[in-house]
Structure 1
Amino acid sequence: MQKGSPLQINNVAFIGTGIMGERIAGHLMDAGYKLTVHNRTREKAEGLVARGARWADSPAEAAADADVVFTMVGYPTDVEDVYLATDGLIRAAKRGAWLIDLTTSSPQLARDIHDAAEVEDKHAFDCPVTGGEQGAIDGTLTLIIGAAEKDVAPVMPLLECFSSKRFFFDQPGGGQTAKLCNQVSLASCMVGYADALALAEQSGIDAEKVLEVMASGTGGSGASRTLAPKSLAGDYKPGFLAEHLRKDIALALQRSEDLDITLPGAETAFTLFDMLCQIGGSRMGTQALTLLYQEEGTCAAAGLDWSLLEQGDEGDDHECCCGHDHGDGEHECCGGHGHHHGEGHECHCHDGEGAE
């Protein structure tokens, strides 16, 4: 993957300026890189444009003159369209360009993109992130890289702009697999603290003090430390969208099926987050999981509607967590990806991922 001569980086493109993407792109601008941005909803890129970034009307236009292209979109289907469509990055980017996907996506799709890029004399690798919205703001994210450190040396200065830790998994798709491991643990930790808070509250003891106990012993986690206080305060503003964690768990569960192993914790977490999304919480922060334990009136005040779950059970059609309305018949859920959608496929692109 690594080129023999040093890479002169002048132009950088960033596609997907959502909750996380905007912050990361800002750090690249702070480091002095000339930035071109594209997002499905232009409004979410206006802050970067106001700072001097150039707006592009499409991913292909953004990548045309870029030495390095970053992507941070919502779902594997979005990644696939951005990279592998007829006018996608694999064809639109110039020879020698580096294509770095920060989205949490499918390991197999990451391998496919890497291989397709190499054929075109371009270099692609998966680089999902973790560290939360605060990590993106502070520029201290952890990067989980599906490549060897020596192979991505030419672009390390850019990666260092918005990260404090970088882990290398030495093979295409390795970063995505490691990120899914992280998400499986995160999801189970969130269910754990939601259970604990429900038990404390229903028992009539001080839930905040229970969190202090957990933090002082072995029962605490990063999730209980950073997200549980928001749950108690009724703050469900998204740092990381519930629908995106549901997507991540689904990807992990599909991989577990491929390996013929069972992940009971992940299965439980998926059921709960899927329920939250179905009743109107898909665009809430993941900490809204605790609303599932509350009285119906509390849920309604937060914007949730339990009748939507009943309607979903009654209907024949459904929307799976990949964001596509499949209707009747068999379908492949968001853990998978197919490179041929067929006629009539409508992609539901998203504006980028939240903090993870």
Structure 2
Amino acid sequence: MSKQCFSPEEIHLGWIGTGVMGGSMCRHLMETGYSVTLYSRTRSKAEPLLAAGAKWADSPRAVAEASHVVFSIVGHPADVREVILGEKGALAGLASGGVLVEMTTSLPSLAVEIAELALEREVIAIDAPVSGGDVGAKNGTLSIMIGGDRPTVESLQPCWDAMGSNWVWQGPAGAGQHTKIVNQTLVAAGMIGVCEALLYAYKAGLNLDSAFKAVATGAAGSWAFSNLGPRIIAGDDAPGFFIEHLIKDLGIVLAEAEALQLKLPGVELARDLYNRAAEAGHGRSGTQALIHALANISGIDWSNRD
């Protein structure tokens, strides 16, 4: 395909997955002018997009049969395998010359497997996981980490620009997923610091809003602190990214690290702490709900603090 083939006037897009982030990402593509056929496991989550003009398909395969380029963002590697490689998966429906863009945080090895199977069907597969949570998805400011055929990646620039403010080609198939592992390692460690800092401020008797304003723009500032710190202070556990999905991601990090003969004790600690939060009922809460597990260690009920 030439670059011009990826303009809204030339191609029809497919979209699979309309969860916390996927719905907003698809909406940005539609607002750019792309026509979209979509599938979501829970149709009700797709209704706003259908009302805006998207077409419904009953399976990922049916999405692909109606599309030139198919994007997917689901939950777990098993979900990726089902919606891409299953009997009713997207790969079975894409015609020769089509492009498959998988944006779920998943296994680098699975990204390579998909790319190799896609080539057998004369389809190009790209792995393009994202970072930025629900805020980045809603605002179109995601960071997109991309692996796969570089000319194809560059031809998709209008799509990347619609969904994100930063997209970088990282290398061959799987490189996008490896880069997301770097991202999740930073995210996991950073959230521990955010939560422990706010716990300290609380126990020291500081006004949390005032303490936040004092440090958010200094050397201690971060995306997590600026965007999720206020949610923690307000007691807002609504998910921008589910804890259970981060636990999945940290399992991937540790498995890949083991394959590289690399020890990451900080990630091991983070996974244990997030598991505590999930076991306390926060698996479907946002990652900022880690505060409850850390507070509990000190005997603090964060939900009912004074």
Q: TM-score, normalised by structure 2?
A: 0.92
SS of 1:227's partner is helix
SS of 1:103's partner is coil
Paired residue for 2:204? Answer: 203
**Stretches of structure 1 lacking an aligned partner (at least 5 in a row):** 303-356
SS of 1:73's partner is coil
1:299 offset after TM fit, Å? Answer: 6.1
Paired residue for 1:270? Answer: 271
1:63 offset after TM fit, Å? Answer: 1.1
Deviations 1:171-223 (A, max 9, x none): 11101110111111011010011111112212223333333343243223211
**Aligned mates of 1:4, 1:137 — CA distance in 2:** 30
- More helix as a share of residues: 2
SS of 1:235's partner is coil
**Aligned mates of 2:302, 2:208 — CA distance in 1:** 19
**Stretches of structure 2 lacking an aligned partner (at least 5 in a row):** none
User: Percent identity between the aligned chains?
Assistant: 37
**Conserved? CA contact 1:148–1:168, under 8 Å:** no
1:301 offset after TM fit, Å? Answer: 6.7
**Aligned mates of 1:170, 1:139 — CA distance in 2:** 23
Paired residue for 1:186? Answer: 187
**Conserved? CA contact 1:99–1:125, under 8 Å:** yes
**Aligned mates of 1:47, 1:298 — CA distance in 2:** 37
Count of paired positions: 300
Paired residue for 2:58? Answer: 57
Which has the larger displacement, 37-46 or 272-281?
A: 272-281
**Aligned mates of 1:194, 1:23 — CA distance in 2:** 28
1:148 offset after TM fit, Å? Answer: 5.3
**Aligned mates of 1:4, 1:284 — CA distance in 2:** 43
**Aligned mates of 2:77, 2:3 — CA distance in 1:** 33
- Aligned-residue CA RMSD (Å): 2.0
**Aligned mates of 1:22, 1:301 — CA distance in 2:** 33
Q: Answer 1 or 2: higher relative contact order, Cα 8 Å, separation at least 6.
A: 1
**Conserved? CA contact 1:15–1:39, under 8 Å:** yes
Paired residue for 1:19? Answer: 20
Q: Counterpart amino acid of 1:29?
A: M
Q: How do 1:297-312 and structure 2 match up within 5 A? A: 298=301
SS of 1:230's partner is helix
SS of 1:7's partner is helix
Paired residue for 2:155? Answer: 154
Q: Are residues 163 and 5 of structure 1, via their aligned partners in 2, closer, same or farther at CA, if it must alter by over 3 Å?
A: closer
**Conserved? CA contact 1:126–1:146, under 8 Å:** yes
Paired residue for 1:75? Answer: 76
Q: Counterpart amino acid of 1:173?
A: G
Deviations 1:279-328 (A, max 9, x none): 210111111111123357846779xxxxxxxxxxxxxxxxxxxxxxxxxx
1:141 offset after TM fit, Å? Answer: 1.5
**Aligned mates of 1:4, 1:66 — CA distance in 2:** 16
Q: Counterpart amino acid of 1:127?
A: A
Q: Counterpart amino acid of 1:126?
A: D
Say whether residues 1:101 and 2:99 are aligned partners: no
Q: How do 1:223-234 and structure 2 match up within 5 A? A: 223-234=224-235
Paired residue for 1:288? Answer: 289
Q: Are residues 153 and 297 of structure 1, via their aligned partners in 2, closer, same or farther at CA, if it must alter by over 3 Å?
A: closer
